[in-house]
Amino acid sequence: MDIDNEIAKTQEERRRKEEELASLTSLTFDRDLYGGTDRDAYVTSIPMPRGEDDDNALGFRKPAKIIDREDEYRRRRLNQVISPDRHDAFAAGEKTPDPSVRTYADVMREQALAREKEETLRAIAKKKKEEEEAAKVEKESGGAAAAVPKRRNRWDQSQDDGSAAAKKAKTTSDWDLPDATPGIGRWDATPTPGRVSDATPSVGRRNRWDETPTPGRLADSDATPAGGVTPGATPAGVTWDATPKGLVTPTPKRQRSRWDETPATMGSATPMAGATPAVPLTPGVTPFGGTDLQTPTPSNLRGPMTPEQYNLLRWEKDIEERNRPLTDEELDAMFPQEGYKILEPPASYVPIRTPARKLLATPTPMGTPLYAIPEENRGQQFDVPKEAPGGLPFMKPEDYQYFGSLLNEENEEELTPEEQKERKIMKLLLKVKNGTPPQRKTALRQLTDKAREFGANALFNRILPLLMQPTLEDQERHLLVKVIDRVLYKLDELVRPYVHKILVVIEPLLIDEDYYARVEGREIISNLSKAAGLATMIAAMRPDIDNIDEYVRNTTARAFSVVASALGIPALLPFLKAVCQSKKSWQARHTGIKIVQQIAILIGCAVLPHLKSLVEIIEHGLNDENQKVRTITALSLAALAEAAAPYGIESFDSVLKPLWKGIRSHRGKVLAAFLKAIGFIIPLMDAIYASYYTKEVMFILIREFQSPDEEMKKIVLKVVKQCVSTEGVEAEYIRNDILPEFFRNFWVRRMALDRRNYRQLVETTVEMANKVGVADIVGRIVEDLKDESEPYRRMVMETIEKVVANLGASDIDARLEELLIDGILYAFQEQTSDDANVMLNGFGAVVNSLGQRVKPYLPQICGTIKWRLNNKSAKVRQQAADLISRIAVVMKQCQEEQLMGHLGVVLYEYLGEEYPEVLGSILGALKAIVNVIGMTKMTPPIKDLLPRLTPILKNRHEKVQENCIDLVGRIADRGAEFVPAREWMRICFELLEMLKAHKKGIRRATVNTFGYIAKAIGPQDVLATLLNNLKVQERQNRVCTTVAIAIVAETCSPFTVLPALMNEYRVPELNVQNGVLKSLSFLFEYIGEMGKDYIYAVTPLLEDALMDRDLVHRQTAASAVKHMALGVAGLGCEDALVHLMNYVWPNIFETSPHVINAVMEAIEGMRVALGAAIVLNYCLQGLFHPARKVREVYWKIYNSLYIGSQDALVAAYPILEDEQSSEQNNIYSRPELMMFV
Amino acid sequence: MQASDRFNINSQLEHLQAKYVGTGHADLNRFEWAVNIQRDSYASYIGHYPMLAYFAVAENESIGRERYNFMQVNNILSFCLVF
């Protein structure tokens, strides 16, 4: 057979080739391809797919995970552990707390223990270091240990609070060298007390992978409360010398960050709590990591995963599906029946076994129980998520660890009531988290309604771990937080034991970069403090105030400020005072002072009543021994002063001296903070003091002008701005003492590069100009308009624009004027960047403020504009056109009408422009010219211009539409006679389309234009068009049409419109009738008092509408009645109004929100027009009606009546009879009103 | 009431109204309403000088005395509502 021969030949050939290249049994690589055998050069992992970018390009944005946008510092929230419930002293009353419950004392004791441990470790470290050094000195050969790489562990990476230097010293300190644990956590990183002893006492410290609390873990933390948590007997056996073990990170090699490790090593780093590899890295340290966790529960097996792992898993699954081996059937289906033969695998074939090769060959699933190669299942549809049972929404893979048990189709009846409840909660939560909006809504309501039934414990045990899920998305978090909020409201004081738990998950929201997340967090904490009360809040948060972890302290401070704003500052003051004066730890003082700062930031001017006490509480911090405390004190004072501005200087009296003394003695960060405080305090002072203190601080500021530190620069600029803007500082002083140094140091190109510097510098300079005048400042920088750096030119331009716009150009002399125009023209022409508005605005501002003085330069400017209108870049053309609209007014002032006419013609020629943005600008420029030179003098004449605009009205681009309709409207208003009526009718039809526009401005302009056109050519034709348009389907279109009809009626007098309009009501079509009613409503709104002449004419129509079966009829008619009543109040139309009121009144029992709203407003209108007494008489019949439903409605009406005209009711209240009997003697009558002279 | 109506302006309207002293509700009894009426009346008398003058003439008292009397009644009335 020739097939066999061919196969044999191919096989032979391939074998030869394989021998050349690589044998399958040993590791060889193609040297041509890979170059050399240096295997380290190979990529050992396939990079993660960056799918998002592609998806974004296609317009499918994946929902954003919170963790993706968080920085290292914010991710520390995942290190927090949801602490077990605490003792609720209020609920327990006099009882001694159950030993199994953590009380405040326990928590504080743990905290103290942790601190003590930290101290001890520090002492030991110091001692060891000393010993080490001594040893080193003795025998010079101790170098081996010193080779340990100095690396900062993850705890330090974002701790930038100024102690960086100190920290570096600590990290490199070699006290941990004898333990030979590279990458060990510092003493600093010892677990927080809450964590160490958190009811699973012997866990020691879990590593970060395990921090995500899983239901499983929580369950066992709940299950073992009695055993472990006897106070004092905390972390069983975790003595200080064993700590490093807890910290031993599971991967033996710690070169790369774990986040980017490959799945291969991941296998060993099984993310199970108990499975931290007990590799005894350190001799002498017995690893007993998670001995009691080593029996993994099923949910533990699913294990906490990091987002990367999830992604990897998803991605792998995907690849897996595509790369799975083809089955014989599939191959049969693919290949033709003949010409192929199934061969035996060659004898030399050995499946790949070596792990490294395997890694290169195909990505294998991780060797963890997390994932197994799926069974071959041809019928499966891979992209469709499996339907969850019982109408549950689909689960994402990361949800399985929380909701997995819902998938077990157990018989509900076999479960205990407790379990059933859990299941129910889980189902509801899943629906809230992943469900469709209706599902979510009902689930949320059920959770709220049954909150007390479920109980706080069951609810929070389910909700809180979900919030700690590392893969949470913004939307999901929002929903879960909402659940907490609703549940909190219902549970009220039952939340007390869970306050700390809730805080652990909610506090991170307070430092989220998303504004709404912050607001949400505040709301929850505020509600929480209202529910739990101040005592519980303080008890829960007090231990965190001097927590070792800066992150915890920071979030706690913010949370405390929210508590203060919720429960009032006075309530918190004594506590704050005690904390700020804490002798035990500087952390407590720091946090206390920070709370004050946060309070000031949060509640703003509401600090004023408590300003004095707040300042008193923190003032001693300025002289604190700890540098951080001094810094935060100054920052807090700054925040307080900012919040209190412009009042409250007397409260700061006591800190002035230390602050001003401080700036002479401090450097660096502390100095910056002090300067900031001074900057905010000076504006509060009286003029004399401000001037004195400014001079005191100024020499320091001028010294710091040269500081290379960016932060310092910003603060200095800000302080200079604040000082300069105060009243007492004189122009002469600024001019002589500050300006030269200021310009020398700050007006340099480098400042223009950083956005924040740029802004600050411009603001400060503008503030100085306000004091020293335009000429000084502009004169100094005008030359720089011709600088070669564009960002710098832009900064100069922006400053000049702001200065000139503020102060005008009268200070500028002829020479400076020349330089200025020259510079501006240069800068304008040389600009290349896209951000062109600065130049445009600058040009406009300067030209406008120079006014007539610009005349000599106008030909040159117009030449530039004309030249640029012809540019090939669309941006340039657009900008040129925009510039025309800015300077048109000035050109008129300079009597350059001829020039403008010329520009008009030029613009007219460019109306064929194809870029909509540019076309919009050109239309805008034409409009500006038409506006200033008037219709008669316009060139090209209006009769030529308008027909050219009609087709442009069809353009769908918003900017074009807006400018075009404005121009057309302007022409219709002022120069309608230049255009034949037929053309106007054509435009009317075009305008109907414009009513569909999304932008409100366009619709408004359109509707107004209808009015102008109707005025120009008479209302009949326009009205006919508009009435026809009422028949269209689109609601927005109809609404706009009704408005247009009303406007036509207003401009052309109602009597020209009303007959046709009322006639249209006879059309038996819902939309048309409603449109007519709506037009009437708008019409009476617009014509106001004029309505008195028409009210009798439309009353029969409204009668009919108010009796109609259709709700919308009645609603619209009611709103027409409202406008009518308000318009004719006091004009003697009461008879008609009472008549209409009789028709409106029966509608008060409507339940549809819009209808009832309209009816209520109509009644309010009647109150104004008829007087409260008449409406009260309508009301009285139902106030004490036997049916509650009736009473409710009547009282609602009574209340709005009462709020509206309380005084007027006095005369109209009914006469009540006195109740006089043996036991009571109530006089209800009002005898005074019976008096008669 | 439909679910969607629960949070609309009308339910809020009632809530807003309830913030003001003197407004009523479906469970208000005759006594409470009457007290409100009395209070409003006396407050109104005090607030309108011509009314005071009129009562003063009718009762042959000074205007100041009238005002003082009305104030006293009003204080007692406001006490009525507190309990």
- The per-residue DSSP string of A364-417 comes to PPPSSTT--PPPP-TT--SSSPPPPGGGPPP--GGGHHHHGGGGS---GGGS-H
Q: Do B41 and A1235 touch (CB under 8 A)?
A: no
Contacts of B45 in chain A (CB under 8 A): 1232
First to last CA, chain B: 34
Spatial separation of the C-alpha atoms in residues A312 and A309, rounded to whole Å: 5
Of A1157, A1188, A1195, the CB nearest to B24: A1195
Q: Which residues lie across from A408 on neighbouring strands?
A: none
Of B2, B25, B31, the CB nearest to A1195: B25
Segments of chain A with pLDDT less than 50: 23, 28-29, 34-39, 41-43, 46-60, 142-258, 260-303, 355-368, 380-381
Of B2, B9, B23, the CB nearest to A1157: B9
Helix A668-681 and helix A687-704: axis angle, to 10°? 150
Q: Which residues lie across from A442 on neighbouring strands?
A: none
Spatial separation of the C-alpha atoms in residues A1012 and A893, rounded to whole Å: 28
How many folded domains does chain A comprise?
1
Q: Which SS3 state, helix, strand or coil, does residue A1219 take?
A: strand
For an interface test with B, the pick among A1199, A1223, A1234 (most B C-beta atoms closer than 10 Å) comes out as A1199
Q: Which residues lie across from A1219 on neighbouring strands?
A: A1226
Chain B: give the shortest CA distance to residue A490, in Å.
Answer: 17
The letter for the amino acid at A874 is: A
Closest CA in chain A for residue B48: A1207
Phi first, then psi: give them for residue A944, nearest 5 degrees: -90, -35
- The per-residue pLDDT of chain B, averaged, comes to 82
Spatial separation of the C-alpha atoms in residues A186 and A1202, rounded to whole Å: 69
On whether the CB atoms of residues A1167 and A1179 are closer than 8 A, the answer is no
Closest CA in chain B for residue A1195: B25
Closest CA in chain A for residue B80: A1226
Q: Do B54 and A1235 touch (CB under 8 A)?
A: yes
Contacts of B38 in chain A (CB under 8 A): 1228, 1230
pLDDT tens, residue by residue, A853-868: 999 999 999 999 999 9
Q: Collect all residues with Cβ–Cβ distance below 8 Å to A377 and sequence separation of at least 6.
A: none
Phi first, then psi: give them for residue A599, nearest 5 degrees: -60, -45
Side-chain-facing half-sphere of A524: CA atoms under 13 Å: 31
Q: Collect all residues with Cβ–Cβ distance below 8 Å to A991 and sequence separation of at least 6.
A: A953, A965, A1006, A1009, A1010, A1013
Q: Do A1207 and B44 touch (CB under 8 A)?
A: yes
**A·B CB contacts under 8 A:** 81
Spatial separation of the C-alpha atoms in residues A885 and A469, rounded to whole Å: 55
H/E stretch holding A1220: strand A1219-1220
Spatial separation of the C-alpha atoms in residues A180 and A188, rounded to whole Å: 18
Residues from A in contact with B at Cβ < 8 Å: 441, 445, 1151, 1153, 1156-1157, 1160, 1183-1184, 1188, 1191-1192, 1195-1196, 1198-1200, 1202-1203, 1206-1207, 1209-1210, 1213, 1216, 1226, 1228, 1230, 1232-1233, 1235-1237
Spatial separation of the C-alpha atoms in residues A547 and A114, rounded to whole Å: 9
Of A1157, A1202, A1216, the CB nearest to B23: A1202
Contacts of B47 in chain A (CB under 8 A): 1207
Chain A: give the shortest CA distance to residue B35, in Å.
Answer: 8
Q: Do A1198 and B31 touch (CB under 8 A)?
A: no
Contacts of A1210 in chain B (CB under 8 A): 40-41, 44
Q: Collect all residues with Cβ–Cβ distance below 8 Å to A26 and sequence separation of at least 6.
A: none
For an interface test with B, the pick among A1185, A1190, A1196 (most B C-beta atoms closer than 10 Å) comes out as A1196
On whether the CB atoms of residues A1004 and A991 are closer than 8 A, the answer is no
On whether the CB atoms of residues A1194 and A1182 are closer than 8 A, the answer is yes
Spatial separation of the C-alpha atoms in residues B56 and A437, rounded to whole Å: 67
- Omega before A940 cis (within 30°)? yes
Q: Do A1195 and B26 touch (CB under 8 A)?
A: yes
Contacts of B9 in chain A (CB under 8 A): 1153, 1157
Q: Do A1153 and B40 touch (CB under 8 A)?
A: no
Spatial separation of the C-alpha atoms in residues A1233 and B55, rounded to whole Å: 9
Of A1203, A1209, A1213, the CB nearest to B17: A1203
On whether the CB atoms of residues A228 and A100 are closer than 8 A, the answer is no
Is residue A147 in a domain?
Answer: no
Contacts of A486 in chain B (CB under 8 A): none
For an interface test with A, the pick among B10, B48, B80 (most A C-beta atoms closer than 10 Å) comes out as B10
Choose among A610, A600, A608, A685: nearest CA to A634.
A600
Spatial separation of the C-alpha atoms in residues A772 and A732, rounded to whole Å: 8
What the block records as the tokens of A1139 is 């008549």
The pairs formed by A49-52 with CB atoms below 8 angstroms and a separation of 24 or more are A49/A315
Q: Collect all residues with Cβ–Cβ distance below 8 Å to A1156 and sequence separation of at least 6.
A: A1147, A1148, A1150, B10
Residues from B in contact with A at Cβ < 8 Å: 1-3, 5, 8-10, 13-14, 17-18, 20, 22-26, 28, 30-31, 33-34, 37-38, 40-41, 44-45, 47, 54-55, 57-59
Region at A294 (left for phi over 0; alpha for psi -120 to 50; beta for the rest): alpha
What the block records as the tokens of A657 is 């001296």
For an interface test with A, the pick among B12, B16, B19, B23 (most A C-beta atoms closer than 10 Å) comes out as B23
Of B23, B26, B55, the CB nearest to A1192: B26
Q: What is the pLDDT of residue B42?
A: 92
Q: Is A375 exposed, middle or buried (0-12, 13-18, 19+ CB in 10 A)?
A: exposed
Spatial separation of the C-alpha atoms in residues B71 and B42, rounded to whole Å: 8
Is residue A959 in a domain?
Answer: yes
ipTM value, please give it: 0.92
On whether the CB atoms of residues A1038 and A1076 are closer than 8 A, the answer is no
Q: Collect all residues with Cβ–Cβ distance below 8 Å to A89 and sequence separation of at least 6.
A: A97, A103, A104, A535, A536, A539
Q: Do B8 and A1153 touch (CB under 8 A)?
A: yes
Is residue A963 in a domain?
Answer: yes
Spatial separation of the C-alpha atoms in residues A79 and A67, rounded to whole Å: 13
The pairs formed by A1204-1211 with CB atoms below 8 angstroms and a separation of 24 or more are A1204/A1164, A1204/A1167, A1204/A1168, A1204/A1172, A1205/A1167, A1205/A1171, A1205/A1172, A1206/B22, A1206/B40, A1207/B40, A1207/B44, A1207/B47, A1208/A1171, A1208/A1172, A1208/A1173, A1209/A1172, A1209/A1173, A1209/A1176, A1209/B40, A1210/B40, A1210/B41, A1210/B44, A1211/A1173
In sign, the C-alpha dihedral spanning A306, A309, A315, A320 is negative
Q: Is A639 exposed, middle or buried (0-12, 13-18, 19+ CB in 10 A)?
A: buried
H/E stretch holding A814: helix A814-830
Q: What is the pLDDT of residue A304?
A: 52
On whether the CB atoms of residues A204 and A242 are closer than 8 A, the answer is yes
Spatial separation of the C-alpha atoms in residues A367 and A816, rounded to whole Å: 77
Residue with tokens 């305008």: A991
**Structural domain containing residue A1010:** 941-1017
Q: Do B38 and A1228 touch (CB under 8 A)?
A: yes
CA dihedral A1057, A1063, A1069, A1073 (to 10 degrees): 50
Phi first, then psi: give them for residue A102, nearest 5 degrees: -80, 125
Label each residue of A427-492 as H, E or C: HHHHHHHHCCHHHHHHHHHHHHHCHHHHCHHHHHHHHHHHHCCCCCEHHHHHHHHHHHHHHHHHHH
Chain B: give the shortest CA distance to residue A359, in Å.
Answer: 57
Is residue A986 in a domain?
Answer: yes
Closest CA in chain B for residue A1214: B37
Is residue A257 in a domain?
Answer: no
Chain A: give the shortest CA distance to residue B40, in Å.
Answer: 7
Spatial separation of the C-alpha atoms in residues A824 and A618, rounded to whole Å: 51
Q: Do B58 and A1236 touch (CB under 8 A)?
A: yes
Chain B: give the shortest CA distance to residue A1202, in Å.
Answer: 7
What the block records as the tokens of A671 is 């100095």
Q: Which SS3 state, helix, strand or coil, does residue A892 take?
A: helix
Q: Do A1210 and B26 touch (CB under 8 A)?
A: no
The letter for the amino acid at A583 is: K
CATH number assigned to the domain comprising residue A1001: 1.25.10.10
Is residue A247 in a domain?
Answer: no
Is residue A1005 in a domain?
Answer: yes
Of B28, B40, B45, the CB nearest to A1206: B40
Q: Do B24 and A1200 touch (CB under 8 A)?
A: no
Is residue A965 in a domain?
Answer: yes
Spatial separation of the C-alpha atoms in residues A35 and A39, rounded to whole Å: 10
For an interface test with B, the pick among A1160, A1213, A1232, A1235 (most B C-beta atoms closer than 10 Å) comes out as A1232
Choose among A1037, A1044, A952, A969: nearest CA to A997.
A1037
Spatial separation of the C-alpha atoms in residues A1056 and A657, rounded to whole Å: 78
Q: Which SS3 state, helix, strand or coil, does residue A65 take?
A: strand
> Other CB atoms closer than 10 Å to residue A887's CB: what's the count?
26
Helix spans in A705-738 (H): 710-725, 731-733
Spatial separation of the C-alpha atoms in residues A891 and A580, rounded to whole Å: 65
Spatial separation of the C-alpha atoms in residues A869 and A910, rounded to whole Å: 8
Q: Do A1232 and B10 touch (CB under 8 A)?
A: no
The letter for the amino acid at A971 is: I
Choose among A522, A525, A465, A517: nearest CA to A495.
A525
